[in-house]
Amino acid sequence: MTQGVSMRILILQNHERCDADLMGDALRRRDVQIEIAEVFATDRLPDVEAFDAVMVFGSPASCLNLDDDPGLVRARDLVRRAVALEKPVLGVCFGGQLLAHVLGAAVQRAPVGEFGRYEIRLTAEGVRSPLFEGFPSAFGSVEYHQDTFDLPEGATLLASTDLCPHQAFVLGRSVGLQFHPESSLRQVSTWTAAYPEGPASVGKTCDEVLAEYRAAAAEHAGLCERLVDNFLRFATSSPARRDY
């Protein structure tokens, strides 16, 4: 565990049901200073220059309709500014799609959505990447999405699933994830209650999605802890490093 990391991280929470969850808890345990900007509830976001890194979390919204939501436009502009300043950025699910969009890649509907727990497989580059240090080459994680992103030009693909090949990428100081390492049972329960049509669209019941999570909750939490440590090392490393 990385202890006493002297950092300030800005968390963009784009929707009331999509908080930082397990990742937020892990950051607090490491004495990282975090500020949560509730994009859905404010018309003014903090100055990204005041932070060492940015984390961008999920939303039921789509990048395909980004301009319809002034709050998400502000979030996009903040992420764009963070990338321009070479701030480390971690985007999760919608946040990963938004980051890919900022980096010039297309976002579109996936041929098939993913809802529940799926096997994530690291690519050869992912196995070597310090971002996934301590991970097995294949592991389960939460998915709850219908959109997917193309790989930004110059990015390295780090992980895939059978249904959605772009699950994790790194480009410079930016890391995009499609899956949800941060999600607790509380969060998944909230999503299945609010959006039961997601699991139904892939032939699952909400009870099955929750059972999948409960069966692997301890493993899921442990991998989230590792990913937080790995991202903190990534965020504090020299921008010139190329081994991520």
Tell me the residue type at 51: F
> Considering 101, 166, 180, 220, which one is annotated as catalytic?
180
Is 93 assigned a catalytic role? yes
**In terms of Cα–Cα distance, which of 170, 177, 167, 162 is closest to 58?**
177
Residue bearing tokens 């099955």: 208
> Considering 114, 143, 182, 212, which one is annotated as catalytic?
182
**In terms of Cα–Cα distance, which of 101, 104, 87, 94 is closest to 234?**
87
Is 182 assigned a catalytic role? yes
Residue bearing tokens 């436009």: 73
Is 180 assigned a catalytic role? yes
Q: For the chain, what is the radius of gyration of the CA atoms?
A: 16
Tell me the residue type at 2: T
> Considering 15, 18, 63, 93, which one is annotated as catalytic?
93
**In terms of Cα–Cα distance, which of 28, 32, 60 is closest to 190?**
60
CA-CA-CA-CA torsion sign (142, 36, 24, 98): positive
CB atoms within 10 A of CB 127: 15
Residues 244 and 238: their CA atoms lie apart, in Å, by 11
Tell me the residue type at 214: R
**In terms of Cα–Cα distance, which of 92, 67, 81, 80 is closest to 11?**
92
Residues labelled catalytic: 93, 180, 182
